Amino acid sequence: MNAYAAVDLGASSGRVVVGRVGDGRLDLSTVHRFPNNPVRVGGTLHWDVLGLYAGILDGLRAAGPVHSVGVDAWAVDYGLVDAAGALLGNPVHYRDGRTDGWRATAERLGEERLYATTGLQQLPFNTLYQLAAAAGSPQLAAARHLLLIPDLIGYWLTGSIGAEETNASTTQLYDVRARGWATDLIADAGLPARLFPALRRPGDRIGPVRADAGLPYTTEVVAVGSHDTASAVVGVPADGTDFAYISCGTWSLVGVELDGPVLTEDSRRANFTNEGGVDGTIRYLRNVMGLWLLQECLRAWGDADLDALLRAAADEPAFGAVVDADDPVFLQPGDMPARIARECRRTGQPAPESRPALVRCIMDSLALAHRRAVLAAAALSGRDVRVVHLVGGGAHNALLCQLTADACGLPVLAGPVEATAVGNVLVQARAAGAVRGGLAALRKLVRETHELRAYAPRGDAAEWDAAAGRLG
């Protein structure tokens, strides 16, 4: 079987996964994990991108000879490089507060125009607003190219400059209908056109890994769905089109897969996003705050046993308190237990009095957020949804999976946990000719090689309606 290395960078860690594909087989093994620890310097939160690159190289050495390498990561954040190819400072973290004034840029450019062109959900950390916050900086003035995180890693590995389109589509500077950079919008935003490189599509060859990367073998880098959610959606083991997906990790990306964007006024007001997917599809979705709320609580508690907390939370009364998981108050790092307690009290609910009660509050609240997004995605797109596929790290969380099924009133199929790496590997394997066909064929292979766990909806839908009503 051919072997392919998937570099998957997440908000808290990175990993290199080797996938072997051939003749009805799809085997994955993680060969290296490394931390992704942001660093605050001078009041600004940065990514330690050089540390990430070192971890990637260690992982590729551990991977052994592979046919190709694909890189995926989170969206919107970028590095600026100058005419000589040097990085102009560590990339700024999307959770940094520098974009707090984003609404002024949105109003100046016109929110209706922004949505009609880019189809993107208004989020304060979109690349457009990060660049507006950087206006007038020496780095921006000196920059020759803007490279999103996977493109920056690909450049360091190969020396080739480019922008993969699924991640470019998250910048709010990409024309979702024309499938290219939104040149008029870029000009009106006061940004130089030189920053935005030529676009690539998943499956395109980027180039051979440079000798100075120090790998003990030769290989090449291939473009994949470099936005991690784009790769994760490829790895959704759906049979047909009547499904919603939840790619659940630090964020929950909740939506449906479409052939074209939904750019209606109702969609804009619902703050749904149209992002590019593999094979020209549209990922019509909402960003939901996801397991970030739980992760930040665990960080605050330090010594917590997550499995024990989830077991105890399952025994807590349902809907003791719920919060709006999408409220911007939860976006930045900090004392999450205290913020959740304050939001409960602000909305006239009792604050959770124990850690299990707080975890149950988070799980109920995330299930409500999943419900809201799944139902809205179906209604706004006209897509009939009969099953919800929950992939990513959240597929390990049986309580959240069951509550999501209960809240949506739909069966949930959980897995694969490694959907992002699966999608990354499959796009590489198809580019190499090891597998053939469209997304349906790739997903059939995932179904045949991965065990899924099914959760049937239970309970009273009226209770979920009542809980949702507390959030307005």
Q: Which residues carry out catalysis?
A: 228
> What count of other Cβ atoms lies within 10 Å of the Cβ of residue 13?
14
Residue type, 183: T
Tell me: cis bond preceding 416? Omega within 30 of 0 counts: yes
User: For tokens 């690349």, what's the residue?
Assistant: 127
Per DSSP, helices labelled H in 287-438 are: 292-301, 306-314, 336-346, 355-381, 398-408, 419-431
> Residue 259 has what DSSP assignment?
S
Reading the block at residue 399, the tokens are: 């309580």
Long-range contacts of residues 333-338, Cβ cutoff 8 Å, at least 24 apart: 333/45, 333/95, 333/296, 334/296, 335/300, 336/293, 336/296, 336/297, 336/299, 336/300, 337/297, 337/300, 337/301
Please provide the size of the chain in residues. 472
Q: Can you tell me the distance from the alpha carbon of 47 to that of 369, in angstroms, rounded to the nearest whole number?
A: 28
Instruction: Determine the Cα–Cα distance for residues 195 and 84; give it in Å rounded to an integer.
Output: 14
Which positions ≥6 away from 176 have C-beta within 8 Å? 117, 118, 119, 120, 169, 261, 263, 274, 276, 282
Residue 291 has phi, psi (to 5 degrees) of -70, 0
Where do we find the tokens 């990513």?
A: 392
Q: Please answer whether residues 452 and 414 qualify as being in contact, where contact means their C-beta atoms are separated by less than 8 angstroms.
A: yes
Cβ atoms of 203 and 223 within 8 Å: the answer is yes
Half-sphere exposure of 379 (CA within 13 A, CB side): 10
Report residue 142 as tokens: 């000196």
- Who contacts 355 (Cβ-Cβ below 8 Å, separation ≥6)? 297, 301, 304, 309, 312
Q: Which of 25, 17, 18, 4 is nearest to 429 (CA)?
A: 4
Distance between CA atoms of 166 and 174, rounded to whole angstroms?
10
- 370-399 in b/e form (b: 16+ CB < 10 A) is bbbbbbbbbebbebebebbbbbbbbbbbeb
